[in-house]
Structure 1
Amino acid sequence: MLIGVIADDFTGASDIANTLVKGVAPEGGLKTAQFCGIPTGEIGDGIEAGVISLKSRTAPVEDAVSESLAALEWLLSQGCKQIVFKYCSTFDSTPAGNIGPVADALAKALDAKGVVVCPAFPGTGRTIYQGHLFVGDRLLNESGMQNHPLTPMTDPNLSRVLRRQTASSVGLVPLAQVQAGGATLQRAFESATERFLVADAVADADLLRLGQALCSATLITGGSGIALGLPRNFHQAGLAGAQDVEAEATVSGPEAILAGSCSGATRGQIEEHEQAHPTLAIDVPGVMEGTVTEDTLLEFYRANQGKAPLAYSAGKPDAVAEIQARFGRKAVAHRLDALFANVARALVRAGYRRIVVAGGETSGAVAQAVAEALNVSAMVVGREIDPGIPILTLGEEVPVTLALKSGNFGASDFFAKALTMMEGAP
């Protein structure tokens, strides 16, 4: 493998895997596989980029660091020349969060300095200017992320957030320096005395300049956008081959949509979907009290097979806060993850072939359950549904397709479109 990615959640892993598969014209991307957790043993089939999906974003710091270092060890054993630590493009991490400690541990293990920190993803409205993260035309802390139920972001200054999480030095590569590009930008990283450098980026062109300047970097951190220009470096060095994502197999068969995200974007997508398709609002207090079980959801899916049925636990911030106050935030998250995982496992065993998931934690639970049900760990990354969301295929003889959507990603018609594209439609 050429590039190894350590992703702190499953939707983020799919996001960056999608970026690596696409690359940029004329060279294109890399043949990429996404893994549910840390694989064991060797991989084959000419995989050029491997993305390890962890659930470390909200894990205890010690667990997040140890899992990330174990992932690093496996990726290095596969011959990876460059390591990317992928986190969310909204940098969602509390002051006691894991981005700083994990990045620090990886940097020390690789003896790396001048490590870029760049969660920018202009294609989805995430940009960085003077070290401040914007979502569209709003600062991060005014974008709705301040209300995130698990990782509320109340400070848009990435350097300041990172300094609360690590004792390592943090510098800034301002936009003018990024846009100068070339050898000047490359020297800024290679001669840096700081451990980390937050890099401005307001357009894809800035990410491509960063990618070129980071051609010799052993460690890179950021959102999926930072990987945009990385495949080109390996193509130009003659180390990567051509690949065609359009040639991937398509799948027909029973379908289900599971939504655990509470983001405004996901709630809007649910409202759009329910105009023409059956939906089930999951009674979360009922789940906590045991009156709503996986059988409740399975009965709903069976009754509406062929109609793109969607079950969701999404709610508005005040309703979510009320439920969390009543039952405990971690307890609610754990119970819902378990519910979605058990439902997904049962769906696969019942012959369901197309599963769409919304929400980072939900996606992690579902992807792991599906992989366990099929006894596989690798997911082949295929066509892009919407920016940052590819089709993932698990298994060979009777393949199952997944689409793992981060809460804020996807067009308003994402759910129906994803199911249609899994069958091979344009």
Structure 2
Amino acid sequence: MNQPLLGCIADDFTGGTDLASMLVRGGMRTLQVIGVPEGPIDADVDAVVIALKSRTLSAAEAVAQSLAALGWLKQAGCRQFFFKYCSTFDSTPRGNIGPVADALLDALNAQLALACPAFPENQRTLFNGHLFVGDVLLSESGMRHHPLTPMIDANLVRVLQQQTARRVGLVPHAVVSQGVDAVRRAFTRAQSDGLGYVIVDATNNLDLKVIGEAAANHVLITGGSGVAIGLPDNFKRAGLLPDAASAADLPHVGGRSAVLSGSCSVATNGQVDHWQQSGRPSFALAPLLLAEGHDQVSEVLQWAKSLLAAGPVLVYGSARPEAVKAVQQRLGVAAASEIVERALSQIALGLRDLGVNTFVVAGGETSGAVVKALGVDALRIGAPIDPGVPWTLGLGKHPVALALKSGNFGTRDFFSKALELVP
């Protein structure tokens, strides 16, 4: 493996793919690996994204995994590091964004990191330190009902300050709009004042490019994938990254196709509705039946067997907030999620035996479970379907085409659109 320029740590699988897609878009050949590799990887790439499943772990576990990932990336020779979390700042009440960022700063002997989850192309913007989803505050969006990481406060300075002993400040949009030099001066002042983090406002892609260029010399950057939009150009300006028009090229896999959805987000529920309203076949998993030992996995595979020859099918555990709460009350929050993830991962294996080599998967936790079940070791990142969601080539014993979608991402017709854009 050549020495990559940028080493990234993502707190979930789809978040990693989202970030990798942004880097490919900027001309960086990017490989996403699933968990910390056991040794060197034979790949000629400019960026490596290590995708963890740490978003909802305990803070101690998330820190341990992230430090292991950082150690591998440092050994690989990376020059700069990126801690990627969701554009809706998903975090448990006790972390994990603050604790992980603290540990990474300490390990890198750095004093200051910016925090910018903004992703305007997906309607995530930051203004005066407050995160908006579309036209509403984060705390008034569908994220307030998230089953694992409900977000009830849109003030990210306040949210992050609750998770770290370091002082948290703000670089407001009035500064960002003045350009790169103004933002650099704000970073210098923040460090002189003893701040550990600054939330940085961004309302459009130009803001993100300004922030990225201003942070060219930062050893650690934290945020959503949007702020990575300016990083490839930094390496180009330094003469370290040639233009790579073929960075997104992927080989054709072939075979049949299927959609697996475990996310219960507002966006994904709308995508399931669109699929069904289009008259396409779908099968709804019932968590309570699965918990009682009902063999819905075999039932799904028998149902799909005759349908796949005619086209793709959808299998989903997605549900509306009230239905999710009812199941959680019966099974518990963690168990309710795990039972659906386990079923969908088993279904993915069965579908592969039926000739499915192309999967669209909705939900970060679900994507992680499916990728692991399919024995995928790494993902080569291709062209985007929607902002933050590319097609990828899953590398392993049985190569597969994978579109791994964060629950909140994608247009209403995402499932059908993705299948029309298979490499």
Query: Aligned ranges for residues 178-197 of structure 1 at < 5 Å?
Result: 178-191=176-189, 192=191, 193-197=194-198
Preserved CA contact (<8 Å) 1:68 1:102: yes
The match for 1:125 among 123, 126, 138 is 123
Would you say how many aligned residue pairs link Structure 1 and Structure 2? 414
Q: 1:278 aligns with which of 274, 281, 301?
A: 281
For 1:382, the aligned partner's letter is G
Runs of 4 or more consecutive aligned structure 1 residues displaced over 4 Å after TM superposition: none
Q: Give the deviation of 1:350 after TM superposition.
A: 4.3
Q: Partner amino acid for 2:119?
A: F
Residue type at the aligned position of 2:47 = A
Contact kept, 8 Å, 2:115 with 2:222, in 1: the verdict is yes
Kindly provide the CA deviation profile for residues 236-268 of structure 1, in whole angstroms up to 9, marking residues without a partner as x: 111113321453212321111110111111111
Gaps of 5+ in 1: 24-28
What letter matches 2:38 in structure 1?
A: T
- 3-state SS, counterpart of residue 305 of structure 2: helix
Q: Distance in 2 between matches of 1:144 and 1:57?
A: 18
Post-superposition Cα deviations, 1:129-168, rounded to whole Å, max 9, x if no partner, equal 1100001110000011111111000000001111111111
C-alpha distance in 1 between matches for 2:85 and 2:21: 14
CA distance in structure 2 between the partners assigned to 1:158 and 1:396 by the alignment:
39
Local SS of the residue matching 1:112: coil
Q: Conserved in 2, the CA contact under 8 Å of 1:116 and 1:197?
A: yes
Equivalent residue for 1:409? Answer: 409
**Offset at 1:44?**
3.2
DSSP-derived class of the 2:162 partner: helix
One-letter amino acid of the counterpart of residue 421, structure 2: M
What SS is found at the alignment partner of 1:195? Answer: strand
2:372 corresponding residue in structure 1: 368
Partners in 1 of 2:383 and 2:247 — Cα distance? 6
Residue 208 (structure 1) shift: 0.2
Query: Alpha-carbon deviations, 1:97-134, whole Å to 9, x = none?
Result: 21111111111111222200000000011000110000
* Partner-residue secondary structure (3-state), 1:345: helix
Moved more, 57-66 or 395-404: 395-404
- After TM superposition, list the pairs within 5 Å mapping 1:243-254 onto structure 2: 243=244, 244-245=246-247, 247-254=249-256
- Check whether the contact 1:272–1:413 (CA below 8 A) recurs between aligned residues: yes
Specify which of 352, 355, 361 is matched with residue 357 of structure 1: 361
| 1:369 CA displacement | 1.6
Aligned partner of 1:263 among 259, 265, 271: 265
SS in 2 for 1:4: strand
What corresponds to 1:310 in structure 2?
314
Q: Distance in 1 between matches of 2:267 and 2:182?
A: 39
Q: CA RMSD in A?
A: 1.5
Question: Deviations 1:188-229 (Å, cap 9, x if unpaired)?
Answer: 224422111100001100000000001000000000001000
**Counterpart contact for 2:305–2:354, Cα < 8 Å:** no
Give the match's secondary structure for 2:55: coil
Equivalent residues of 1:21, 1:31 under 8 A apart: yes
**What is the aligned partner in structure 2 of residue 232 from structure 1?**
233
Counterpart contact for 2:6–2:47, Cα < 8 Å: yes
Bigger mean CA offset, 1-10 vs 376-385: 376-385
Q: Which amino acid aligns with 1:240?
A: L
Equivalent of residue 344 in structure 1, options 310, 328, 348: 348
TM-score by length of 1: 0.94
Q: Summarize the Cα distance change of 1:235–1:259 in structure 2 as closer, same or farther, 3 Å threshold.
A: same
SS at match of 1:380: strand
SS in 2 for 1:41: coil
Q: 1:292 offset after TM fit, Å?
A: 3.5
1:300 to 289, 300, 303: 303
Of 18, 28, 31, the match for 1:30: 28
Partners of 1:208 and 1:116 in 2: CA distance: 14
Q: What is residue 224 of structure 2 aligned with on the other side?
A: 223
Letter aligned with residue 379 of structure 1: L
SS of the residue corresponding to residue 202 of structure 1 reads: coil
Paired residue secondary structure (2:355): coil
Shift of 1:276: 2.4
Question: What is the CA distance between 1:55 and its match in structure 2?
Answer: 0.5
- Fraction of identical pairs, as percent: 48
Separation in 1, partners of 2:167, 2:224? 20
CA–CA distance in structure 1, aligned partners of residues 302 and 381 of structure 2: 31
CA contact (8 A) 2:11 2:54 kept: yes
In the TM superposition, what is the alpha-carbon distance from 1:332 to its structure 2 partner? 1.1
Q: 1:396 to 1:367 in 2, by over 3 A?
A: closer
In structure 2, the residue matched to 1:102 is 100
Answering whether residue 71 of structure 2 is matched by residue 69 of structure 1, we say: no
Deviations 1:288-321 (A, max 9, x none): 1111432122223223204210011111111110
Query: Residue 6 of structure 1 aligns to a residue in which SS?
Result: strand
Are the structure 2 counterparts of residues 397 and 109 from structure 1 closer, same or farther at C-alpha, using a change threshold of 3 Å?
A: closer
Name the counterpart of 1:209: 210
Residue pair 2:285, 2:340 contacting (<8 A) in 1 also? no
- SS of match in other structure, 1:111: coil
Of residues 273-282 and 205-214 in structure 1, the stretch that sits farther from structure 2 once superposed is: 273-282
Preserved contact between residue 173 and residue 202 of structure 2 (Cα < 8 Å): yes
Partner amino acid, structure 2, of 1:208? K
CA distance in 1, matches of 2:248, 2:55: 32
Shift of 1:399: 2.8
* 8 Å contact kept, 2:12–2:52: yes
**For residues 36-78 of structure 1, what are the alpha-carbon distances to aligned partners after superposition, in whole Å with 9 as ceiling and x for unaligned?**
1111222233211001110000011111000000000000111
